[in-house]
Structure 1
Amino acid sequence: MTAGVTGAPDREGAAQPSRPAASAAPPAPEKKRRRGSILGSQPLGMVFIAPYLVFLGIVFAYPIVFAVWMSFHDYFFAAPGAVVDRPFVGFDNFAKVLSDPAVWRSFLNVGIFLLINVPLTVVLSIVLATALNRVVHARTFFRVAYYVPYVTASVAVVAVWLFLFAENGLVNNVLGPLAPTPSWVINSWLAMPTIAFFVTWKGLGFYILLYLAALQNVPNELYESVSVDGGGRMRQFFSVVVPGVRPATLLVVLLATITGANLFTEPYLLTGGGGPNGASTSPVLLIYQRGIEQGNPDIAAAIGVILIIFVLVIAAIQRKLVGGEES
């Protein structure tokens, strides 16, 4: 009798019965699979994030959709409960916006701001985070010292900067004959760079914390490998730290871009509303001026829609350059 019929013999020669082939598991019902793909592998997690999703829908999604609707209509403020006609005007609001030199100037201003703020934020944050990660004594003190400006009210910090960069301020007194004329925040060429440096300094602590968290995931063995190969601190920085925190760099770049595109408080307070002559006016500040001060919310909504598209394009380019697909 062959083993294929009776099974393989045991040590005593007795044949063991062959095991029946395991039957294939029945396919999961289509409805269950579909629900699992929608809710994810942990459906209970949707219960915990539901309040935040509602918050996002009310605070972010609804205003964006309403702004898009406003930008295509002749919208104006009316008394509560009043029924007024707000006709559809198509792209008329966008045509007015794109023909307004002040709008183009505001986007140029924010472009200059981003060109200064984003690279400076990334470089200073990663360098300082690497240095703080190596500090042994007073580590908590230094981390708190960098984080304090971020949590301090902008109004209070702006008062300090106005004292420093005023025409008779401390900075000009130190520079003496090298001080610019007109002074920093009233100089059409230096107003936006001064704001960019201010925002970089104020928000640096937050981005340093992001990099510090990312550095905890870089294995120490990589540093040791570079040391064994004869590499110093600079080689470790460029060969281990920079590639190791690449996902954090993408996050920092995106957050700095979004924050910079929403620039409002700093030019409003430092330059008295976007001065001199619109040299520091940002798109968000212009939205406030057109929509609230001048009573043209439809024009303001059109500027906001263009700003959203501008930020999405810049973020897509940055994601490609930084290597977001691999991150």
Structure 2
Amino acid sequence: MTTQTTSPRGRVRPGTAPGRAPRPALQKVLGRNPLGWLFSAPYLVFVLAIFAYPVCFAVYMSFKDYFFAAPGVTVDRPWVGLQNYVRVFQDPQVLQSFRNVAVFLVINVPLTVVLALVLSAALNSVVRWSTFFRVSYYVPYVTASVAVVGVWLFLFSQNGVVNSLLGPLAPSPSWLSNSALAMPMIAVFVTWKQLGFYILLYLAALQNVPKELYESAATDGAGRVRQFFSVTVPGVRPATVLVLLLSTVIGANLFTEPYLLTGGGGPNGASTSPVLLIYQQGIQQGHPGYAAAIGIVLMIGVLVIAWLQNRFAGGRES
């Protein structure tokens, strides 16, 4: 219940207890426990130094004809306004890279959510060998990408094991040399490699689903499939939103896999990702201002997609 006091001029001042002075301005800013700011200060400095400053500097670079120079050397970096952004939306190579990453996300994100949820629910019900299975799914995630990529190249190259087994049914050109199959194959590879991490997220969420809900559903005659859709899926909804956001953000920043699997975005740019193109334009070709503009457009696109996912998949907490 809100209390009210009367000011010296006779006006009622809401929200103030009788005989209690109003809070100081510093306390209004820092809150009742300002010591919390002290403990959070290291992470705040980390975020500002590692994330906020580079983003602001990238925005600054994107409006200039920027190029790198030796330390201490003063060079002219002319202001070009929106010229870099206009070039981004007119460059066929950039537009293709965004289409490539869209294909990747359409395959990778649904596969990641469905497989991680189904496998985590299965692992959660396993009694024997549960630790072995959980570690088995997590091993590819912690294994170095270079080592795992070598195995996939051995399996899916032109003379690889998969083509040898398929025989005349093998695609030509081969999987990673085929313009239509290169990006889907990368999406499948990334899904398989990162699946263990998302399974652990779902396993942690499943521990918070009350067992009584499953018992009640079983009493009402619900089978395993019905329990999965009526109890498990709604119970891990916050984890699903987190998996959606993480897989989208990580997928949009795809770099290592196309760089290693297809030799830097081949064939003919069919697997080039925006981040790989940023590297090529900014580092290899010496156009960091243009690369920064690509990065800012990518960041805005990811933020919009993440907001839509949180809005429609996350819903509103009751």
> TM over 0.5: same fold?
yes
> How far 1:277 moved relative to its partner?
0.1
Q: Does 1:161 align with 2:148?
A: no
Q: Which residue of 1 aligns with 2:269?
A: 278
Distance 1:173 1:325 in 2: 52
1:187 to 164, 178, 183: 178
User: Residue in 2 aligned with 1:317?
Assistant: 308
Tell me, yes or no, if structure 1 residue 294 matches structure 2 residue 285. yes
CA distances 1:23-81 after superposition (whole Å, capped 9, x unpaired): 835144242541344xxx54333322221221111111111110000000111111210
CA distance in 2: counterparts of 1:27 and 1:33, whole angstroms: 13
SS state of the match for residue 266, structure 2?
A: coil
SS at match of 1:87: coil
The corresponding residue for 1:261 is 252
Aligned match for 2:131, one of 133, 136, 140:
140
Q: How far has the Cα of 1:324 moved from its partner? A: 4.0
Matched residues, percent identical? 69
Q: Does 1:31 align with 2:3?
A: no
Deviations 1:100-145 (A, max 9, x none): 1000000000000000000000000000110111110111111111
The separation in 2 between residues aligned to 1:43 and 1:132, in whole angstroms, is 43
Q: What residue number does 1:198 align with?
A: 189
Aligned 8 A contact 2:30 2:37 in 1: no
| Structure 1 portions without partners, runs of 5+ | 1-22
Deviation of 1:172 after TM superposition, in Å, equals 1.2
* 3-state secondary structure, aligned to 1:83: coil
**Aligned partners of 2:315, 2:159: CA distance in 1, in Å?**
46
Q: Which of 34, 40, 48 is residue 57 of structure 1 equivalent to?
A: 48
Distance in 1 between the 2:134 and 2:34 partners? Answer: 38
Q: Distance in 2 between matches of 1:290 and 1:128?
A: 40
Q: 228, 239, 263: which is aligned to 2:230?
A: 239
Distance 1:48 1:33, change over 3 A: closer
Structure 1 vs Structure 2 CA RMSD: 1.4
Count, aligned residues: 302
- CA distance in 2 between partners of 1:43 and 1:234 (Å): 50
Match of 2:221 in 1: 230
Show the counterpart of 1:12. none
> Which of 186, 198, 211 is the matching residue for 1:220?
211
When residues 219 and 78 of structure 1 are mapped into structure 2, their CA distance, relative to the original with a 3 A threshold, is same
Alpha-carbon offset, residue 199 of structure 1? 0.2
Q: What is residue 74 of structure 1 aligned with on the other side?
A: 65
Counterpart CA distance in 2 for 1:144 and 1:48 is 34
The 8 Å contact of residues 146 and 205 in structure 1, kept in 2 or not, is answered as yes
Aligned mates of 1:30, 1:281 — CA distance in 2: 56
1:105 alignment partner AA: Q
Paired residue type of 1:26: R
Decide whether the 8 Å contact of 1:319 with 1:325 is kept in 2: no
2:111 is equivalent to residue 120 of structure 1 = yes
Q: Distance in 1 between matches of 2:300 and 2:242?
A: 19
What is the rounded CA distance, in whole Å, between the counterparts of 1:267 and 1:120 in structure 2?
Answer: 19
5+ residue gaps in structure 2? 1-16
State the partner residue of 1:130: 121
Structure-2 separation of matches of 1:25 and 1:236 = 57
| 1:144-202 alpha-carbon deviations (Å, 9 max, x no partner) | 11001001100000000000111111111222221111100000000000000000000
- 2 CA distance for matches of 1:104 and 1:194? 20
Of 140, 148, 169, which residue of structure 2 is paired with 1:149? 140
Tell me what 1:6 maps to: none
Partners of 1:68 and 1:131 in 2: how far apart?
Answer: 46
SS where residue 289 of structure 2 aligns?
helix
Provide the TM-score with structure 2 as the length reference: 0.92
Shift of 1:319: 1.6
Which of 1 and 2 has greater Rg?
1
Q: Structure 2 vs 1, CA of residues 134 and 182 (structure 1 numbering), >3 Å: closer, same or farther?
A: same
**Aligned mates of 1:160, 1:52 — CA distance in 2:** 38
Residue of structure 1 equivalent to 2:12: none
**Cα drift, residue 84 of structure 1:** 1.4
